[in-house]
Amino acid sequence: MSHEEPLVRVENLCKTFKTNFGTLLAVDNVDFTINKGEVFGLVGESGSGKSTIGSMLVGMYNATSGTALYRQEHNIGIKHSERSKWLKQDIQLVFQDPGSSLNPRKSVRQILGVPIDLFSGEKLTYQERNHRIEASLARIGLPPEYLDKYPRSIGGGEKQLICVARALSANPSFIVLDEPTSALDVSIQAKITNKLLELQQKDNLSYLFITHNLCLVRNICDRIAIMYLGKICEMAPTQSFFNNPLHPYTQMLLASIPVLAEEEEKLKPQRIRSTGEIPSPLNKPKGCSFHPRCPHKNDICTQIEPQMAELSPNHFVSCHLLGA
């Protein structure tokens, strides 16, 4: 379902890192909005800048320049330590690897109790606190006996559900999900994404869903943005995106998705095949940064950077070939 009240608005957002080899522009003038109750997918290969954006929105890094506003007025281009308690509570993160994000020395009861102690805003009795911890576990569909288990005795999918429950224990409005299923077996991935979607719809949560896997976003996201070398090259509502992918890089990604049925193979873009490697973000090509891999490039592509243009309602793309 599409929603129009902006929750997160990002404009000209940039993030640079100093390295031994020079300045790395990890996020390069990115613009997007995530609306209330929306699932927004940010997709790209490793090094595209997608996780850096997620890390900035939760305060792991500050923005180098540009703006990131939450609920139209709260600056979230700043670090977690500089944020108000309310902002820390209202924006939560679920990491890729549940194994390393849960403290092995703490029981599930202790893990789920931390955000309740930090953010409940009132003095709870022992029973009230326990009741809230049990309710957090029940929301993700695990039985009460898990409360006294430790992470080492829990499977990968269940550990990730505990991470989701920990995020929900803070009672947030917005959750950044950074590759939440990529460390899990394929058989468990669907179970986790279905649960995430169920929770989002039940509580009208907003998600930033970061992934390299286009198959996953089709069923979970309202809108999708594709990132390449720090920039968004295409952004569209999910249906428009899959029915009419426009950017050559998007077509390349879609063409490389493995499918089982011949009918599905026929639906995939056939116009472009993957060629070459993603260039180093430390040494971005001039003009369109996709030009070294693009079979449609012409002279202008190597000299002038294309700008984002809206080619159909809410469907944005940056490519000279498409008049952008």
Q: Which of these ranges, 64-72, 75-83, 263-271, 291-299, lies near ligand SF4 under the rule CB under 6 A?
A: 291-299
- Piece in contact with ligand SF4 (CB under 6 A), picked from 166-174, 181-189, 191-199, 290-298: 290-298
Residues 95 and 163: beta-carbon distance below 8 Å: yes
Does residue number 232 form part of the binding site for ligand SF4 (CB under 6 A)? no
- Residue 276 burial (C-beta neighbours within 10 Å; 0-12, 13-18, 19+): exposed
Do 9 and 72 touch, CB atoms closer than 8 A? yes
Contacts of residue 137, Cβ cutoff 8 Å, sequence gap at least 6: 108, 112, 143, 144, 146, 147, 165
CA–CA gap between residue 317 and residue 309 (Å, rounded): 6
| 297 belongs to the binding site for ligand SF4 (CB under 6 A) | yes
Least gap, CB of 225 to ligand SF4 (angstroms): 16
* Binding status of residue 296 toward ligand SF4 by CB under 6 A: yes
Q: Which is nearer to ligand SF4, 184 or 324 (CB)?
A: 324
When asked if residue 301 is in the footprint of ligand SF4 (CB under 6 A), the reply is yes
* Residue 321 near ligand SF4 by CB under 6 A: yes
Q: Does 27 bind ligand SF4 (CB under 6 A)?
A: no
**Is residue 320 involved in binding ligand SF4 (CB under 6 A)?**
yes
Judged by CB under 6 A, the stretch of 38-46, 115-123, 252-260, 294-302 that binds ligand SF4 is 294-302
Residues 270-289 that bind ligand SF4 (CB under 6 A): 288
Q: Is residue 108 a contact partner of residue 144, using CB atoms and an 8 Å limit?
A: no
Residue 111: φ, ψ to 5°: -65, -45
DSSP state of 285: P
CA 91, 94, 100, 104 dihedral sign is positive
Min separation Cβ 256 and ligand SF4, Å: 16
**98 or 248: CB nearest ligand SF4:** 248
Distance CA 152, CA 106 (A): 10
Question: Residue 57 or 253: which CB sits closer to ligand SF4?
Answer: 253
Q: Which of 61, 209, 290, 316 binds ligand SF4 (CB under 6 A)?
A: 290
Residue among 15, 166, 291, 315 that touches ligand SF4 (CB under 6 A): 291
**Residue whose CB is less far from ligand SF4, 30 or 301:** 301
Pick the closer one to ligand SF4 by CB: 83 or 231: 231
Within 10 angstroms of residue 122's Cβ, the number of other Cβ atoms is 5
Assess 229 for contact with ligand SF4 (CB under 6 A).
no
**Nearest CB to ligand SF4, comparing residues 147 and 233:** 233
Site stretch for ligand SF4 (CB under 6 A), options 94-102, 182-190, 250-258, 316-324: 316-324
Output the CA–CA distances (angstroms, integers) from residue 304 to 201, 228, 298, in the order listed: 42, 16, 11
For residue 71, count CB atoms less than 10 angstroms from its CB and return exposed for 0-12, middle for 13-18, buried for 19 or more.
Answer: middle
Q: What is the DSSP string of 215-269?
A: HHHHHH-SEEEEEETTEEEEEEEHHHHHHS--SHHHHHHHHTS--SSHHHHHHS-
Is 230 among the residues that bind ligand SF4 (CB under 6 A)?
Answer: no
- For residue 150, the one-letter residue type is Y
Name the residues that contact ligand SF4, by CB under 6 A: 248, 288, 290-291, 294, 296-297, 301, 306, 319-321
